[in-house]
Amino acid sequence: MKVTVVGAGNVGATCADVLAYREIANEVVLVDIKEGFAEGKALDIWQKSPINLYDTRTVGVTNDYTRTANSDVVVITSGLPRKPGMTRDDLISTNAGIVRSVTENVIKHSPEAIIIVVSNPLDVMTYAAHITSKLPRTKVIGMAGILDTARYRAFLAEELNVSPKDIQAVLMGGHGDTMVPLPRYTTVGGIPVTELIDPAKLDAIVDRTKNGGGELVKLMGTSAWYAPGSAAAQMVEAIVRDQKRVFPVCIKLEGEYGITGTYLGVPVVLGKNGVERVIELQLNEDEMALLKASEKAVREVMDVLDNMPANA
């Protein structure tokens, strides 16, 4: 199996490192536009293979997509990271152009690849990659829900003083402030989280999760990378190993939850064909209202992309 990661920055390099360390693919190709950058990162990852005992071959190239030919999965992390005071939506114009160009090159050399988008604003960049690739919606998906649920679960584990391994959760909607955490579907070792935590504390954790990315930007001056890179690698693993994992991912909805044409995070079964099926939860009235509000926010940014000169 061959996996390409486009963008050798912090997120892309972390993703490639996890893929190599866990031996998820035979070969991982890192691509970047900065001369020597991907080559250096890939070489560094390869040189620790005797230390950490793995044999996945990592290769780096500068803007040479011929080396990515016949990739089974391609992860797109390219684009500008957020800076303090910058919203994800501020990135749309520049990053949409980057994602379109990358997608065209990817499809040219790996027409059967499954594409995972990590670039921000996530939901709209998934849209840009999907319409550019002309692939089925099940093969162009966005990584957001795994990262968001990881943050949510980590905060809960800290508050409850339990292992994060025992916490399961579902989040839906857009990646960002309008995401929809679902405490009703959150469990700790099978126990509903609502039985273990004060409602006010749970609400505070939900709010912290919604602003999880922004919290890290304020602390570090740039976007996170360890958790996002690892989350993307987990999606790759589910596909490459046909694990049929149930994850929240961003996908174009076609009638599910009464929504058509908007790219939102929803729970799916992830396997060798990409999204094997979309899971429709029985949301209550309040949950559905939050999802519709998230849809509206994402749709507004999709409209911005649609109305940009390049799309006129």
Selected catalytic residue, list 100, 175, 210, 299 = 175
| Structure-token pair, residue 31 | 């691509």
Q: Is 299 annotated as a binding residue?
A: no
Q: Is 307 annotated as a binding residue?
A: no
- CA 91 vs CA 40, 80, 86: distances in Å: 27, 7, 8
> Does residue 130 carry a catalytic annotation?
no
78: left (phi over 0), alpha (psi -120 to 50) or beta: beta
Q: Is 241 annotated as a binding residue?
A: no
| Structure-token pair, residue 58 | 């990592």
**Chain-centre distance of CA 256, in angstroms?**
20
| Structure-token pair, residue 181 | 């955490």
Q: Are 196 and 160 in contact (CB under 8 A)?
A: yes
Q: Is 273 annotated as a binding residue?
A: no
- CA 258 vs CA 146, 161, 193, 280, 292: distances in Å: 23, 38, 28, 10, 9
| Structure-token pair, residue 12 | 């892309």
Q: Is 230 annotated as a binding residue?
A: no
Q: Is 88 annotated as a binding residue?
A: yes
Q: Is 120 annotated as a binding residue?
A: yes
Please provide the DSSP assignment of 80-140 as one string: PPP-TT--GGGGHHHHHHHHHHHHHHHHHH-TT-EEEE-PSSHHHHHHHHHHHHT--GGGE
Please give the single-letter amino acid code of residue 203: D
Q: Is 32 annotated as a binding residue?
A: yes
Q: Which residues pair with 268 in a beta bridge?
A: 247, 278
Q: Is 52 annotated as a binding residue?
A: no
3-state class of 196 per DSSP? coil
Q: Is 174 annotated as a binding residue?
A: no
The greatest distance separating any two alpha carbons of the chain, rounded to the nearest whole angstrom, comes to: 55
Cβ-in-10-Å burial (0-12, 13-18, 19+) of 163 comes to: exposed
Annotated binding site for substrate: 82, 88, 120, 151
Catalytic site residues? 175
Annotated binding site for NAD(+): 7-12, 32, 95, 118-120
